[in-house]
Amino acid sequence: MKTTLPILFGFLVGLVMFVQYFFSHPSLQRTYNLVLDWKQIVFGMMLILGTIGLVRHHGVRIQRRERAWGYSAVTLSGLVAVILAGVGGGVQGGPYAWSFENVQSPMQSTIFALLAFYVASAAYRAFRARTVHATLLLCAGIIVMLGRVSIGEMLGFSVGDARYSLAGLSGWILDVPNLAAKRGILIGVGLGVSATALKILLGIERSYLGKGD
């Protein structure tokens, strides 16, 4: 019963969601909207549980003075400060909005900006001409990178009215072989998604229930 009931519930709800995609009856649409609302409610409840777990984890680290417990103190302080700011001053304007615009948002942008350096580090390691495939990758990478900047258009030649440049070659690499490979991957992913969804719907795959196969 502990396994059968969730599988049956999943099958019934999944079946309703599957049917509503093909039939536009108002009752089915209302059910779809209701399920979306329930999802938000479940998310909210799970968020509370997750936050409680987070507070407990960091609280224990502070209490036991574990290694790097200072970061846990910063985490809990930030959590309490933002909650108080939101409850006291409201979420529209006031200290809550100030903390988002002047603290959280710049920090997010900073980490996003750091990504450029991580890309450079990964590219330095990956673009080494050790094999034929790696050499092809390196050459294609150079062409595409140069083709994306102004010099890509300048590096080229004209034959009559036609202009052949690195920018054009870069565009061809992205539009033809790269796009073909991407579409192949997407077709495989689409089939994988469909098969996995059907497995879940039909109760064939049960690992997500935590009960094993």
Partner 1 sequence: MIPLQDATGFQATRWPELVAALALALLIVVWIVRTRRSSDVFVRRIPGLEAVEEAVGRATEMGRPVLFIPGMDSMDETGTLAAVNILGQVAARTARYETRLLVPCRDPIVTNVAQEVVRAAYTAEGRPDLYRADDVRYETYGQFAYAIAVQGIMLRERPATNFFFGRYYAESLIMAETGNLTGAIQIAGTDSDSQLPFFICACDYTLIGEELYAGSVYLSREPRLLGTLKAQDMAKAIVIVALLLGSLATATHLWTRP
Point out which residues bind partner 1 (CB under 8 A): 18, 21-26, 29-30, 32-33, 36, 39, 42-43, 46-47, 49-51, 53-54, 56-57, 60, 67-68, 71, 104, 107-108, 111-112, 114-115, 118-119, 121-123, 125-126, 182, 185-189, 191-200, 202, 204-205, 207-213
User: Cβ closer to partner 1: 40 or 92?
Assistant: 40
Shortest Cβ 21–partner 1 spacing (Å): 7
Q: What is the spatial distance between Cα 42 and Cα 52, in angstroms, rounded to a whole number?
A: 16
Most distant pair of Cα atoms in the chain: their distance: 78
Q: What is the spatial distance between Cα 127 and Cα 141, in angstroms, rounded to a whole number?
A: 8
Shortest Cβ 92–partner 1 spacing (Å): 20
**DSSP designation for 161:** T
Closest C-alpha to 205, from 3, 2, 18, 1? 3
**DSSP designation for 149:** S
User: Cβ closer to partner 1: 60 or 87?
Assistant: 60
User: Cβ closer to partner 1: 64 or 158?
Assistant: 64
User: Cβ closer to partner 1: 112 or 157?
Assistant: 112
Shortest Cβ 25–partner 1 spacing (Å): 5
Shortest Cβ 126–partner 1 spacing (Å): 4
Q: What is the spatial distance between Cα 56 and Cα 173, in angstroms, rounded to a whole number?
A: 52
Q: What is the spatial distance between Cα 20 and Cα 32, in angstroms, rounded to a whole number?
A: 7
Shortest Cβ 158–partner 1 spacing (Å): 30
User: Cβ closer to partner 1: 2 or 160?
Assistant: 2
What are the φ/ψ torsions at residue 205 (nearest 5 degrees)? -95, 120
Closest C-alpha to 165, from 156, 175, 177? 156
Taking each helix axis as running N to C, give the angle between helix 69-89 and helix 26-63, from 0 to 180 degrees, rounded to the nearest 10: 130
3-state secondary structure of 50: helix
User: Cβ closer to partner 1: 134 or 151?
Assistant: 134
Shortest Cβ 152–partner 1 spacing (Å): 20
Return the amino acid letter for 175.
D
